[in-house]
Structure 1
């Protein structure tokens, strides 16, 4: 009860963060644009356009750096008070309990950080070195990370959204005929809203109509490669919902997030090998390669964000300078080969962009854990697609009725955080990237 005023104040600070970030705009090419609207310019093949766009967005963020640090200082102090009031000596312990992490603990998270540092970061840096060489630049700068390294225009998988649904159904049927039939059912029942249109809410997600126990997929497709990936991803969530449809207990129809995302991430990986409804072979290889590279590059970022929060809440008396130093050391530990010369201040405050640190403390590692499960299924599927899909479907049908290690086990995967688990996955990705090289 004593924590209610603190929780209320934290909710107010959450809104303040979102308001501060949402108000950030810049003037670019004669138009006022939000920072989200600036992101596509980082994919422009003209390097000077990318640099200008990146610099404008970075300098705009830095205008609010003190306000954001003020906000975070208040949030951190309140969270530590909430934890103490609840009987915890450490906010980290409190956060793990609050997030109902009964199947893994703080030591497991630290083990994940270490494994990523030793076996994922080297592959991530190799990918970035290849991009640097392909771009023909002396060093990879912050505005060089999103562009296609070979200067190719964006992939155009479809023009009409009906082609997206049609092509996705073909892919799902090839992964598994029953999954294809389930997706056809969703199409026939009007349970897909895929096209972008004026006045439509942004984003993409799968939700469940609980009365009917049916999934509904919402997204804003405009004809990009990412739209195909989004539909494969949300399709995985939808198959999870349908697999649990007969479970009478509502609590058992929903898995922990660490496994929910296995359902969706695995379907992205399974589907990436059957992209012919949208692409010729070279284009399909390019899309598949981009997906795998993205996975390798996101895992170190997940470790960075998680390790930073462990540092923050185990050093409660730290100063802002201490915090910047800690962030810099983590960028050195987990980061790629990006040259930040002349932009050190932007690097030191780049954590301000990660809303989870402000709004959802310690919520992010779940995606890394799920990715490890998805990669294990993908790796097996390279040689035994039918067996991998059968185990995937069996695990989905368990919903939330088993603890995480058993859900992962039912999928024929291991719930783990160590180098022994992750190293073979990175080896497999490295080999596949070589096979897919243009």
Structure 2
């Protein structure tokens, strides 16, 4: 699969040959040797050495991104899977000890201490943290972990159901959840729940194997538990377990009651007793579902117009991505679930992946990923790869801010009354999202501080957190679907402890949105400076 068409040339390389095969270790090893032999004695020489190091890092990062994108776009294509597995089995395990050698060399060289602190403090802290955390015996374990993550994506990407006479992905089934016909909603929701449960044993098996690998990595690194290890690996220098628990408590005290009041109002308006999980998306007043587009091209056209109204350069970026085939937006069989923005690090260009099916949520998702893309482009002239990517707590501010800034222009897709409905829906989903974030984050705290737990104990912990942070909907008759509901949150499998960042970022995004409401020019200027 080719990622991108007629792209502008990548930024010039410094040490990596232009025709190098980045999937061939014999061509990569001499480049690491070249970096090893350098011994910069001055701050200026150290800066040049870091740029050479950065050159190789960017080349390998883009190669890895291209293979990952191809694999997630086509989880049912053996050739794409083979290319990605080759990279994580043959290239990354050889590269990781060499990166560590460079980091160790950097930490030991006196010239590093002479680098301008305002410019290099963050990079220096990151490198020294990795030096302390790295263990060579963890490299093969990380390889096996990545292979299990591929297995999860293949399994979930293959999930389909036959409904209304057609085979459909689980993402495509979401368009039945907001229909006025309640029996049809129940049938659709129940079929999807049943399909997920068919693979619950395999999903639990994958996760149990991931747990064992992560626990062994923790022991090798000398950390008390995987939570402590993951916090260091994720570079959470500014907050810790205590602050996460304070976030959980604040959500429980302030947000959960609001979420439940909104659901109680929904229940009353719909005149239902009880409210069921298939009643959570339908319009309470019986109005037709919001259907902003039918085809991906319409989604891109509309979001391009929205982004242009936020700022002309933002809209131009999405048009550029479409022109150069840097988008894969529609849901289909064999495509991994979820959405993400990847960066081609040598071209310094973004790629957006998602699973659109024609819903309002797809508009929000594309605006979200476009926010990441704007962030990437704002940092494009930064020479160091390490500084072209922010920590997730702030990276998600860019994406979630764009969702909210774009919501001011939903009239691109709807008439005035529908646009108002879409905005109300977005605010209500913000409230639900904070509850879900607290649930997912607290669940991971429980998982990784209870080593050796059984599947049944894990399910019980999830149910307890649902009682703490969940809504008022009744799952009677669908208890298995509820206690296995965490299976659908891919972050728990693929990106452990990456989720509270969305909660932190949402609070920042709401402040950005508020600032732009008060003074658009000043608010947007401050937003872009922050990026």
Q: Which TM-score band (shorter chain)?
A: 0.7 to 0.9
**How many residue pairs end up in the alignment?**
395
**Aligned residue for 2:258?**
123
Between the aligned partners of 1:279 and 1:81, the Cα distance in structure 2 is: 52
RMSD over equivalenced CA pairs, Å: 3.1
TM-superposed deviation, 1:239: 2.3
Q: Specify the alignment match of 2:391 in structure 1.
A: 256
Summarize the Cα distance change of 1:173–1:32 in structure 2 as closer, same or farther, 3 Å threshold.
closer
Question: Which entry has the higher C-alpha Rg, 1 or 2?
Answer: 2
Q: Which residue of 1 aligns with 2:498?
A: 363
Match of 1:304 in 2: 439
Which TM-score applies when normalising by structure 1?
Answer: 0.79
Cα offsets for 1:218-263 (capped at 9, x unmatched): 6676754344333432332232223222322222122112212211
Q: How many Å separate the matches in 2 of 1:59 and 1:167?
A: 35
Does the 8 A contact of 1:191 with 1:217 survive in 2? no
Q: 2:242 corresponds to which residue?
A: 107
Corresponding residue for 1:44? 179
Aligned counterparts of 1:159 and 1:347: Cα–Cα separation in 2: 31
| Cα deviation, residue 116, structure 1 | 1.2
Q: Deviations over 1:14-45 (max 9, x none)?
A: 34433443454444344444433433322222
Q: What is the alpha-carbon distance in structure 2 between the residues aligned to residue 201 and residue 311 of structure 1?
A: 31
Counterpart residue number, 2:218: 83
Residue segments in structure 1 that go unaligned for 5+ positions in a row:
397-438
- Larger mean Cα displacement after TM superposition, 47-56 or 375-384: 375-384
Q: Does 1:150 align with 2:268?
A: no
- Does structure 2 retain, via aligned residues, the 8 Å contact 1:301–1:334? yes
Matched, 1:328 2:463: yes
**Using a 3 Å threshold, how does the CA distance of structure 1 residues 89 and 281 change in structure 2: closer, same or farther?**
same
Contact 2:160-2:333 within 8 A present in 1 as well: no
Distance in 2, Cα, partners of 1:123 & 1:289: 14
| Cα deviation, residue 306, structure 1 | 0.9
Q: Name which of 480, 483, 486 aligns with 1:351.
A: 486
Distance in 2 between residues matched to 1:27 and 1:160, nearest whole Å: 21
Offset, 1:50: 1.5
In 1, the alpha carbon distance for the partners of 2:328 and 2:157 equals 25
| Cα deviation, residue 339, structure 1 | 0.9
User: What does 1:145-224 correspond to in 2, within 5 Å?
Assistant: 145-157=280-292, 167-176=302-311, 179=314, 182-183=316-317, 186=320, 190=324, 193=327, 205-215=340-350, 217=352, 224=359
Unaligned ranges ≥5, structure 2: 1-135
Q: Secondary structure at the match of 1:245?
A: coil
Q: Describe the SS at the equivalent of 1:295.
A: helix
Whole-angstrom CA distance in 2 between matches of 1:22 and 1:209: 24
Distance in 2 (CA, whole Å) between partners of 1:31 and 1:161 is: 20
For 1:340 and 1:322, the matched residues in 2 are separated by: 19
The 1-side partners of 2:484 and 2:193 are apart by: 10
Instruction: Please report how far the alpha carbon of residue 88 of structure 1 lies from its aligned counterpart in structure 2 after TM superposition.
Output: 0.8
User: For 1:197 and 1:351, how far apart are their aligned partners in 2?
Assistant: 21
Taking structure 1 as reference, are residues 130 and 380 closer, same or farther at Cα in structure 2, changes over 3 Å only?
A: farther
Q: Secondary structure at the match of 2:412?
A: coil
SS of 1:300 mapped into structure 2: helix
Q: How big is the shift at 1:173?
A: 4.3
Q: Are residue 394 (structure 1) and residue 526 (structure 2) matched?
A: no
- Structure 1 residue 160: deviation in Å? 7.5
- Flag the 1:197–1:294 CA change in 2: closer, same or farther, 3 A: closer
Provide the rounded CA distance (Å) in 1 between the counterparts of 2:466 and 2:332: 40
Distance between the aligned counterparts of 1:161 and 1:33, measured in 2?
Answer: 17
Deviations 1:132-157 (A, max 9, x none): 22322112111112223233323344
